């Protein structure tokens, strides 16, 4: 049912470390993490508050630079890239989904989905076509003209997922995407993520809920800035069957 994973690593990190200077002291938020994630994987990152999950996601998302170590994204060493190239790489290679949706309140669902294409310089007609295609993919074809406030939380998160997909990124990074949603809506979202993953999209998702991590195919555990667990899930739960 699932396409076989492409053996080329999409993400390769080696001894990745990030220290935050805090007054006179230095907080070692990440203390040397090494791992690889292949195309087609669905990875959940778990760990207590303060264990370094957000720091790691910010590095994966090229939103921050490591203090030490190496990060290769899609074969390119991103550690030494200048800010313009990093921004371009983010726009072309990555899609982001956040706990709080992060939609523009005065823009319609369609306009929100078009945003990454606007930044990429895509022309209006093509932007519209691709935005509507992705809204359809997440089940919101009939809500394209709605403002975020005219949508439920689950629908807003679907718009955010369509926005993350619109640039056909190699990887989607989702930070607590179900954190603001009720149980049933969370299940619907996880069913959507599983369907996207079955279609070949690589997903890395941070969650503090075991029930949510159980839908992934691999779980990484962080503690005190270190990777302390890396476990494949042989038979992940299927969210669509629980709805």
Residues of the shown chain interacting with ligand ADP in the complex, contacts defined by CB under 6 A: 20, 22, 27, 29, 47, 49-55
Residue 53 C-beta: closest distance to ligand ADP, Å:
4
Find the length of the chain. 243
CA–CA dist 140, 122 (Å, integer): 22
Residue 204 C-beta: closest distance to ligand ADP, Å:
13
In the bound state with ligand ADP, the residue whose beta carbon lies nearer, of 29 and 103, is: 29
In the bound state with ligand ADP, the residue whose beta carbon lies nearer, of 190 and 220, is: 220
Residue 232 C-beta: closest distance to ligand ADP, Å:
22
CA–CA dist 161, 233 (Å, integer): 24
Report residue 240 as tokens: 């669509």
In the bound state with ligand ADP, the residue whose beta carbon lies nearer, of 94 and 220, is: 220
Q: Compute and round to an integer the Cα radius of gyration of the chain.
A: 18
In the bound state with ligand ADP, the residue whose beta carbon lies nearer, of 155 and 178, is: 178
Residue 28 C-beta: closest distance to ligand ADP, Å:
8
Residue 57 C-beta: closest distance to ligand ADP, Å:
8
Residue 97 C-beta: closest distance to ligand ADP, Å:
16
In DSSP terms, which residues pair with 131 in a beta bridge? none
Residue 62: phi and psi, rounded to 5, are: 60, 30
Under 8 Å between Cβ of 230 and 35: yes
Per-residue exposure over 64-92, b if at least 16 CB sit within 10 Å of its own CB, e if not:
bebeebebbbbeeebbebeeeebeebbbe
In the bound state with ligand ADP, the residue whose beta carbon lies nearer, of 53 and 158, is: 53
Give counts: helices (H), strands (E), the chain. 7, 10
Instruction: Identify the sign of the CA torsion 44, 49, 55, 58.
Output: positive
Residue 18 C-beta: closest distance to ligand ADP, Å:
8
In the bound state with ligand ADP, the residue whose beta carbon lies nearer, of 1 and 22, is: 22
CA–CA dist 14, 29 (Å, integer): 16
In the bound state with ligand ADP, the residue whose beta carbon lies nearer, of 55 and 108, is: 55
């Amino acid at each position: 049912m699932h396409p076989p994973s492409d053996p080329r690593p999409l993400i390769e990190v080696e001894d990745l470390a990030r220290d935050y200077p805090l007054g006179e002291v230095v907080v070692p938020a990440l203390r040397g993490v090494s791992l690889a994630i292949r195309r087609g994987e669905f990875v959940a990152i778990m760990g207590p508050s303060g264990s370094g999950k957000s720091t790691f996601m910010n590095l994966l998302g090229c939103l921050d630079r490591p203090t030490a170590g190496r990060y290769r994204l899609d074969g390119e060493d991103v550690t030494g890239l200048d800010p313009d190239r990093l921004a371009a790489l983010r726009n072309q290679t990555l899609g982001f989904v956040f706990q709080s949706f992060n939609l523009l309140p005065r823009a319609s669902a369609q306009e929100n989905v078009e945003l990454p294409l606007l930044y990429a310089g895509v022309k209006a007609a093509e932007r519209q076509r691709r935005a509507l295609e992705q809204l359809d993919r997440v089940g919101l074809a009939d809500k394209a003209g709605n403002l975020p406030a005219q949508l439920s939380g689950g629908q807003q998160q679907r718009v955010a997922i369509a926005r993350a997909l619109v640039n056909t990124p190699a990887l989607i990074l989702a930070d607590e995407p179900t954190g603001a949603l009720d149980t049933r809506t969370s299940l619907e979202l996880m069913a959507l993520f599983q369907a996207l993953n079955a279609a070949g999209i690589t997903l890395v998702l941070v969650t503090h809920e075991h029930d949510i991590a159980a839908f992934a195919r691999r779980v990484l555990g962080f503690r005190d800035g270190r990777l302390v667990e890396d476990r494949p899930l042989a038979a992940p739960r299927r969210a669509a069957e629980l709805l």
